[in-house]
Amino acid sequence: MLEMHGITKVYRTERVETHALRALDLHVREGEFVAVTGPSGSGKTTFLSIAGLLEEFSEGEYLLDGQAVKDLSDSARSRLRNRAIGFIFQSFNLIPDLDVAGNIGMPLRYRGLPTAERKERVEEALAEVGLSSRSRHFPNELSGGQQQRVAIARALAGRPRLLLADEPTGNLDSEMARAVMDLLEAVNTRGTTLILVTHDAELSNRARRIIRIVDGIATDVSGMASAMDGG
Ligand code: ADP
Ligand code: ADP
44 in ligand 1 pocket by Cβ < 6 Å?
Answer: yes
Phi and psi angles of residue 25, each rounded to the nearest 5 degrees, phi first: -115, 130
* Nearest-angstrom CA–CA distance, 110 and 91: 21
| 201 to 37, 42, 186, 207: CA distances (angstroms) | 8, 16, 19, 10
| Region label for 184, one of left (φ > 0), alpha (ψ between -120 and 50) or beta (otherwise) | alpha
Given a cut of 60, whether residue 217 has pLDDT beyond it is: yes
Neighbours of 209 (CB within 10 A): 18
* Nearest-angstrom CA–CA distance, 205 and 138: 34
Q: Percentage of the chain with pLDDT > 90?
A: 92
Phi and psi angles of residue 182, each rounded to the nearest 5 degrees, phi first: -60, -40
Given a cut of 50, whether residue 231 has pLDDT beyond it is: no
Q: Determine the average pLDDT of the residues in 135-139.
A: 98
pLDDT at position 227: 52
Ligand 2 atom 8, closest CA: 102
> Can you tell me whether residue 177 is helix, strand or coil?
helix
Q: From ligand 1's centre to the CA of 109, what distance in Å?
A: 32
58 in ligand 1 pocket by Cβ < 6 Å?
Answer: no
* Nearest-angstrom CA–CA distance, 19 and 9: 6
214 in ligand 1 pocket by Cβ < 6 Å?
Answer: no
Task: Render pLDDT for 50-85 as a digit per residue (tens, 0 to 9).
Answer: 999 999 999 999 999 999 999 999 999 999 999 999
Pairing status of strand 162-166 against strand 2-12: unpaired
Which contiguous run of DSSP H or E holds residue 7? strand 2-12
18 in ligand 1 pocket by Cβ < 6 Å?
Answer: yes
DSSP state of 195: E
Contact at 8 Å (CB) between 195 and 201? no
- Ligand (nearest to CA of 125): 2
What number of residues does the chain have? Answer: 231
